[in-house]
Structure 1
């Protein structure tokens, strides 16, 4: 007998908090991009123009994320029985990849600036950087709450946090250049910011890839789960265990449960209820499928490569 159950979670709709905040942050980013293009052109600062290009890529990432939130809010149907929640994971992969590409671009620009420092209008750079700090800080505040449990929103949040840090670096660099004409400060700060972006982007990319590959979440211990279930008197062993995440909030569990005794189907309800309570209450499983057996697959391990 196979039994299954699942719990529903409802992501924010595109008209909800996430969607509105993404649209608002996109407006802020467009305003900042325009300001940096004008500031870079007037001051002769290549760093501001480079940051403007970075911000333009952020606008693209926000658009991708907003559509992902909208897609994830759609209900499942016959065509996509699992629904569309993985759209946010795909968006996280795209955004993290963009961040890595932009980091490499920043390293390249920093290299050339080390070789040939350029004189700039430091005062104008400081003013534009201050504007960048304010706008990015507002965006970080708007996205902070949603970034903790959503990879897609976390990737966008990281975009703005890195931009805020970048603006702080540009401002500090502008101040040092204004007073000491130490033009090497600008590329040095760029390298430090780029290293931070690379580290955080890699973590997002690794976690997203694990979900897309239906890997076991790092917070889950298959043996611990099986051992806990095998403490029930009615269960002999657990095998054919498969665990994967649909997104950050939806954890799937399926397994074959070998029973101690050959019992009636009607008697399985109580056993199933106990299994469900353990998996949902202790391990956060939201959807489980159990195949009950008696004297089957005797020498099988927890996880099998072949069914």
Structure 2
């Protein structure tokens, strides 16, 4: 039953995230905010990753209709979580590369519009996090991956807002870019942690998993 509830939750988050992604990318380009554009691009990675999480639950539901196999289901969830973690890592690196490029080629930012859209993105991510959070997330790498994706995007939205406000107040545009770089570094750390945990599950090493779960 938990997996079926997670399937519905992840589908709602995918649809909500996809809509916000389009808005943030459009306004990131029009306002020339690197942090906002980075947030939109990063949210695009979430559409793919959380979509993958949703697909994993669909596959498991269809399998359960014809056979039982908890071990196989767990492998599917761990594989989906590992893939999502890899996508999170790749997109974080892409954001850093784009941000570094912006340091060498600065652009004028339309601050108020960028801050408004980043705030909308933050609200969407917080709502998504509440939808995906559950007390057993450490035992289900698939839902944990989806949860980490929206938490990571909430973090990039918040850093974008802080960077934009600071840049507007003190007229230092590169703060916006620095915020994007810092948030990407934090996301890289989260992604590596997810890859390690899901990788251990895929290699059937539950001892380490249980030890970490206690913390």
What is the CA RMSD across the aligned residues, in angstroms?
2.4
Indicate yes or no: 2:113 matched with 1:107.
no
Match of 2:3 among 7, 12, 37: 12
Q: Take 1:78 and 1:31, find their aligned partners in 2: how far apart are those partners?
A: 36
Q: Given that residues 42 and 92 in structure 2 are in contact (C-alpha distance below 8 angstroms), is that contact kept between their aligned partners in structure 1?
A: no
Between Structure 1 and Structure 2, the one with more helix by share is: 2
CA deviation digits over 1:196-227, x for unaligned, max 9?
11111111111111121223521569xxxxxx
Q: Take 2:70 and 2:198, find their aligned partners in 1: how far apart are those partners?
A: 21
Between Structure 1 and Structure 2, the one with more strand by share is: 1
Match of 1:158 among 148, 156, 180: 148
**Alignment match, 1:52:** 40
Q: Which moved more, 1:38-47 or 1:95-104?
A: 38-47
Question: Unmatched 5+ residue regions in structure 2?
Answer: none
Indicate yes or no: 2:103 matched with 1:117.
no
Match of 1:209 among 196, 199, 210: 199
CA deviation digits over 1:18-39, x for unaligned, max 9?
1111111112101211211231
TM-score w.r.t. the length of structure 2 is: 0.87
SS in 2 for 1:214: coil
Indicate yes or no: 2:21 matched with 1:21.
no
Q: 1:151 to 1:201 in 2, by over 3 A?
A: same
**Alignment match, 1:92:** 81
Cα deviation, residue 180, structure 1? 1.5
Q: Take 2:151 and 2:162, find their aligned partners in 1: how far apart are those partners?
A: 17
Q: Take 2:74 and 2:157, find their aligned partners in 1: how far apart are those partners?
A: 34
Q: Take 2:138 and 2:201, find their aligned partners in 1: how far apart are those partners?
A: 17
Cα deviation, residue 96, structure 1? 0.2
Q: Given that residues 201 and 209 in structure 2 are in contact (C-alpha distance below 8 angstroms), is that contact kept between their aligned partners in structure 1?
A: no
**Alignment match, 1:138:** 127
Q: Please tell me whether Structure 1 or Structure 2 has the larger radius of gyration of its CA atoms.
A: 1
Question: Unmatched 5+ residue regions in structure 1?
Answer: 1-9, 222-307
Q: Take 1:219 and 1:155, find their aligned partners in 2: how far apart are those partners?
A: 15
**Alignment match, 1:36:** 24
Aligned length: 210
Match of 2:184 among 194, 209, 226: 194
Q: Which moved more, 1:33-42 or 1:154-163?
A: 33-42
Q: 1:115 to 1:138 in 2, by over 3 A?
A: same
CA deviation digits over 1:35-86, x for unaligned, max 9?
1123123313343333322212211111110111222343397897944331
